[in-house]
Amino acid sequence: MASMGDLLAMNIQTDTHRNLAEALTPLSAVTVSEAQPSFEDRQERGPSWTLRIFLLLGLLAAGGAVLWRSDLPTLTTLRNWGEGLLDPASQSAATNVPVAPTPVSDTTARIQPAPVPMPTAEITGSGYVLVQDYASVFAKYEGTITDLLVALGDPVTRGQPLAAVSDPGAQYALKSALIDQSLAQLRLETKRIEVDQSERDFDRLTSLLAKDAVSERVTQDAATALSLAKTALRQAEQDIHLADLKVEIAQEHVDELTIRAPVSGTITQLNARIGNSVLARVDTIRDTDYLMVITDTASMYLDAEVAETNVSRLRVGLTGEAVLDGFPDQPFEVRVVGISPVVSAERGTISLRLELDGPPDGIRPNMAARIRITLSDT
């Protein structure tokens, strides 16, 4: 049979754990009415409920020694904690126990709005491929095409022969100029001989005059003859310059009968045919009467038109994408390098000049293209 001291210690432990249980009761997730059965239920259950109480008290008594520590919160602190009088920070400070952050429920996470991507502003338009450097080839002098040295699409370099034109009159003019040049050269030599002879005569007569062997008038006549000879020599020298110039003109005419490429590029148009008569450039009435067109394909650009409503957001440096109708599966990048200073009143559009970046092989002038320009936020 238990002694009085044992019974007293058991009562103290029982009271202590009962107080602890009462303090922890508000922390339960269920209400008292839900956690405790009614009186009628306890009567119906009978001894089983009593047995459960004693088993619970026994477990609490066995763990009392472990739970009874100096760092445990007081009953008042636990009661206040359960009643919500202390915030988590105060609870942590009072009990020296770290408080875990309150987890965010799935419902709260779903309530947070997801970021909505802003649509990228862009404009579209259409245009044509153009070239900045090209040359229309004309015949400088009239004649008949006797030889054609290139074909459509051939690459050429500056100075390369393209065609030959025949003009018999130019050949005759060159031969005549060469003959005149030879005659002028002969006259020049003659005048030089006359000057030399006049100088010798003058020197001789001057010596005789010093000896009073000749009159002074004879010496003056010799001086006049020398002066006339020198003047004729200068005239012969000018004649030789004129003859040389005539030869150069005639030679240039003959040289221009071989038509050469004024620039490097590709033959993009060819109207010349062997046997065709061509007019001189000064006699050509229409600019479309060219023999061929040479295009520098490396200087291609794109002129496109877009709606004038986007003019306030357009600026040089914007980038985009272009697609040629001839190469629909090969888009390439473009960059705005120029904006027209005027707007088309008829179409309500504004023209853009675009620089091409990596266009497809086979791109040609006048090809149609569709563009899409990305507009930055302004």
How confident is the model over 176-197, as pLDDT tens digits? Answer: 999 999 999 999 999 999 999 9
Helices (H) and strands (E) in the chain, counts: 10, 14
Mean pLDDT lowest for which of 24-33, 43-52, 186-195? 24-33
Mean pLDDT score, 304-321? 90
What pLDDT does residue 332 have?
A: 94
Say whether pLDDT at 71 is over 60. no
Tokens 């005659």 map to which residue? 183
Mean pLDDT score, 302-331? 91
Residue length of the chain: 378
Q: Nearest 5 degrees, angle CA 175-CA 178-CA 182?
A: 140
Is residue 11 packed enough to be buried (19+ CB in 10 Å), middle (13-18) or exposed (0-12)?
exposed
Mean pLDDT score, 293-318? 88
How confident is the model over 103-144, as pLDDT tens digits? Answer: 544 544 455 555 544 445 788 999 999 988 888 898 988 899
Mean pLDDT over each residue of the chain, to the nearest integer: 77
**Of 35, 279, 299, 268, whose CA–CA distance to 136 is shortest?**
268
In this structure, what DSSP letter does residue 324 have? E
- More reliable by pLDDT, 351 or 96: 351
Tokens 């070239």 map to which residue? 131
Answer yes or no: are the C-beta atoms of 320 and 334 closer than 8 Å. yes
Answer yes or no: are the C-beta atoms of 147 and 274 closer than 8 Å. yes
What pLDDT does residue 103 have?
A: 52
Strand order in the sheet with 277-278: 258-260, 161-166, 143-148, 277-278
What pLDDT does residue 63 have?
A: 58
Candidate ranges 116-125, 306-315, 324-333; pick with highest mean pLDDT? 324-333
What percent of the chain has pLDDT above 90?
Answer: 39
**Of 307, 193, 173, whose CA–CA distance to 246 is shortest?**
173
What pLDDT does residue 212 have?
A: 81
What pLDDT does residue 91 have?
A: 46
What pLDDT does residue 202 have?
A: 87
- Domain at 169-253, CATH homologous superfamily: Helix hairpin bin (1.10.287.470)
**Of 118, 132, 127, whose CA–CA distance to 372 is shortest?**
127
3-state helix, strand, coil in the chain (%, to 5): 45, 25, 30
**Where in the chain are all domains bearing CATH 2.40.30.170?**
298-374
What pLDDT does residue 108 have?
A: 47
What pLDDT does residue 57 have?
A: 73
**Where in the chain are all domains bearing CATH 1.10.287.470?**
169-253
What percent of the chain has pLDDT above 70?
Answer: 67
Mean pLDDT score, 262-278? 89
What pLDDT does residue 84 have?
A: 47
Tell me the residue type at 158: R
Confidence of residue 149 (pLDDT cuts 50, 70, 90): very high
In this structure, what DSSP letter does residue 117 have? P
- How far apart CA 83 and CA 27 sit, in angstroms, is 8
What pLDDT does residue 120 have?
A: 54
In this structure, what DSSP letter does residue 152 have? T
- More reliable by pLDDT, 291 or 80: 291
| Tokens matching residue 247 | 């030869």
Answer yes or no: are the C-beta atoms of 137 and 293 closer than 8 Å. yes
Tokens 């008042």 map to which residue? 76
| Tokens matching residue 216 | 């002074």
Say whether pLDDT at 153 is over 50. yes
| Structural element, H or E, at residue 111 | helix 106-111
Enter the CATH code of domain 298-374: 2.40.30.170
Mean pLDDT score, 243-261? 93
Mean pLDDT lowest for which of 48-62, 158-172, 268-282, 304-318? 48-62
SS3 52: helix
**Of 8, 12, 16, whose CA–CA distance to 68 is shortest?**
16
What pLDDT does residue 211 have?
A: 83
**Where in the chain are all domains bearing CATH 2.40.50.100?**
134-167+259-294
- More reliable by pLDDT, 215 or 17: 215
What pLDDT does residue 236 have?
A: 92
In this structure, what DSSP letter does residue 46 have? T
Distance from the Cα of residue 208 to its chain's centroid = 92
CATH number of 134-167+259-294, picked from 2.60.40.420, 1.20.5.510, 2.40.50.100, 3.30.365.10: 2.40.50.100
- How far apart CA 315 and CA 47 sit, in angstroms, is 92
**Of 62, 56, 70, 65, whose CA–CA distance to 21 is shortest?**
56
What pLDDT does residue 113 have?
A: 55
Mean pLDDT score, 226-241? 92
Beta strands in the chain (DSSP E): 122-131, 134-137, 143-148, 155-156, 161-166, 258-260, 265-270, 277-278, 292-295, 300-307, 319-324, 327-344, 349-357, 368-374
* Residues 6 or more apart whose Cβ sits within 8 Å of residue 72: 95
- How far apart CA 115 and CA 329 sit, in angstroms, is 34
- More reliable by pLDDT, 285 or 57: 57
The secondary structure of 253-302 as a DSSP string is HHHHTEEE-SSSEEEEEE---TT-EE--GGG---TT--SEEEE-GGGEEE
What pLDDT does residue 144 have?
A: 92
Specify which residues 143 forms β-bridges with: 278
